[in-house]
Structure 1
Amino acid sequence: MTIPRSALLAAWAGAVAAGRARVGDALEAVAGDDEPHEVQPAPGFVAPPSLPVPDPGYLSDLLVLLGAAGERSPVTVRCVLPVPGDVLGVPGPGDLQAAAVTAGECVVLAGLPDGDGSLALVPEVEEFGPADDVGVHVRWQAHRAEPLPGTPLASSVAEADMAFRLALAEATTALEGLDLSSWRPDATAGLRGRRDDDGQPLPPTLGPRSLRLLTRAERVLAILAVAEADHGGVVTGWEAGRRSEQLTALSRATRAAVVAAVSLPG
């Protein structure tokens, strides 16, 4: 899975909350071949009245309740993809921020009816079974969240798309200029390429520009994961620093692109 689970859930939860997707379709798209996703309370969590998810509960319970809540008032659904040192967009308190950084992702539901505040979901992923038949168990830890920082979205889809394109062009040019693409010939070519499969099912609420942005960002996320695990043709300390700077900037822009593409309103 190259699209983060939280991004996929945010896209489908937003569609369910807007009354434009069925719960069954959302569950099938988000869970895929996983075991049924569970929702469990984090320590000290008390479910808001508008989303009284059972304990233990399932993602299906939450989505049904979210659809009902969306009928009463508009709900904001945001995906956040933090990394150590960059928690922009993650609401407090501190225990939620720490959990989100550890997972590298979370979903925030805000604007719940009756002043219920905000709710955040952080995935805990567990693999089980033999190597040739690995199963996946996902538990979404529910946290009460403080009000969302700043505006509902850090940038519009158009702004995120422009920033992503600029960062992509700069990183590709810089890495080619350092002759670091030779260590993996498909790396920078892949940055310029397109996804050649159908990817994961996405909801009808994503417009054409969001879909194009998410498709490109999905591919870059996969390439970044490879690049972070392999130092490639780096020889000098200066090359290593320059490479790290470019990949960090590209990662930030790519994560912002995914957030803008899947969050509601978007």
Structure 2
Amino acid sequence: MPELPASVRVALWVTHAWSGGTTLTHAIDRALPDVEHTEGLVEQVRVWRDLGEAALLVALPGPGDLHGLPRCGPVATDAAVEAGEAVFVAGLGGMLVPQVSTFGSEGALGLRIDWAEHDADPVPPHRIEALEPSQLERHLRGHLLSAIDELDRIGGTPWADDLSRDLLDDRLGADWALPDAMPERARKVIGLAGTVAVAAEVGLGASGAVTAAHDEERAAALRRLARSCEQTLADATNAACAQLAGWVPIR
């Protein structure tokens, strides 16, 4: 099964723990089951919780697109863009950026994530509270349908036949090992956005365009779709975290 970004999983599970749904240790284990060692995460989220934070939020920035990233210095911005993800808190301000590496000997490699702390400005709560999963879903579906029309116009085979037939099936991404307490609408949007993002990446790695020019045009369309999915994934995650934290009613 494809995995959601580590920061998405951490934001959801830590916020669930902060709301009393589980212990922080269990939350980290559930969020990062494939990671043998983490550094800098548990200590910082404990500090944030002790200082009154109730929601851990996520940003999935990309080159030239800082959507959802709190205002921060150039070093922090560059680190988040390079990683493609970060978690942050809105009230006090502050951000953690993951750096993934491996350790051990060949044939027995372990995965570790070091979380680097960076200063970041607070984020006005109304920006998070205004995120509505149903609107995010409509927006994403509109982008998806437009992308499919564009890819049909370009020609070639952007996906394997079985994947293209199932791309709009809501069953895809239904089981992502997320907290049971998550609002169902947000869970649905996260599953759809995560699945289509993976499908776009699969398409980028496939051949089948008619000409080199068509191949580049198709790749550009898939990159736009992937970026839209990443933005929706971050927004839907933050909407879910706002509800888990009790900022807004579950809807």
TM-score tier after normalising by the smaller chain length: 0.7 to 0.9
Partner-residue secondary structure (3-state), 2:167: helix
Write the distance in 2 (CA, Å) between the matches of 1:227 and 1:130: 33
Does structure 1 retain, via aligned residues, the 8 Å contact 2:80–2:97?
yes
Which stretch shows the higher mean deviation, 91-100 or 130-139?
A: 130-139
Q: 1:163–1:209: structure 2 CA closer, same or farther, 3 Å change rule?
A: same
The question of 1:118 aligning with 2:103 is answered: no
Q: Structure 1 residue aligned with 2:61, among 65, 68, 82?
A: 82
Write the distance in 1 (CA, Å) between the matches of 2:135 and 2:45: 30
Write the distance in 1 (CA, Å) between the matches of 2:25 and 2:79: 28
- The equivalent of 1:136 in structure 2 is 111
- The equivalent of 1:173 in structure 2 is 149
Shift of 1:7: 0.6
1:195 corresponds to which letter in structure 2?
A: L
Shift of 1:245: 4.0
1:87 corresponds to which letter in structure 2?
A: L
1:14 corresponds to which letter in structure 2?
A: T
2:19 corresponds to which letter in structure 1?
A: A
Shift of 1:187: 4.1
Partner-residue secondary structure (3-state), 2:87: strand
Shift of 1:153: 6.4
- The equivalent of 2:80 in structure 1 is 100
Write the distance in 1 (CA, Å) between the matches of 2:32 and 2:14: 13
- The equivalent of 1:3 in structure 2 is 4
Describe how 1:137-156 pairs up with structure 2 within 5 A: 137-148=112-123, 151-152=127-128, 155-156=131-132
Describe how 1:52-67 pairs up with structure 2 within 5 A: 59-67=41-49
Partner-residue secondary structure (3-state), 1:181: coil
Shift of 1:130: 5.0
Write the distance in 1 (CA, Å) between the matches of 2:106 and 2:203: 25
How many correspondences in the alignment? 237
Partner-residue secondary structure (3-state), 1:24: helix
Q: 1:93–1:196: structure 2 CA closer, same or farther, 3 Å change rule?
A: closer
1:184 corresponds to which letter in structure 2?
A: A
Write the distance in 2 (CA, Å) between the matches of 1:196 and 1:80: 20
Q: 1:155–1:242: structure 2 CA closer, same or farther, 3 Å change rule?
A: farther
Does structure 1 retain, via aligned residues, the 8 Å contact 2:17–2:24?
yes
- The equivalent of 2:21 in structure 1 is 20
Shift of 1:20: 2.9
What TM-score, normalized by structure 2, do the two folds share? 0.82
2:80 corresponds to which letter in structure 1?
A: A
Q: 1:19–1:234: structure 2 CA closer, same or farther, 3 Å change rule?
A: farther
Q: 1:177–1:82: structure 2 CA closer, same or farther, 3 Å change rule?
A: same
Write the distance in 2 (CA, Å) between the matches of 1:240 and 1:27: 41
Shift of 1:3: 0.2
Partner-residue secondary structure (3-state), 1:84: coil
1:109 corresponds to which letter in structure 2?
A: V
- The equivalent of 1:188 in structure 2 is 164
Q: 1:36–1:182: structure 2 CA closer, same or farther, 3 Å change rule?
A: closer
Partner-residue secondary structure (3-state), 1:151: helix
Describe how 1:243-258 pairs up with structure 2 within 5 A: 243-258=218-233
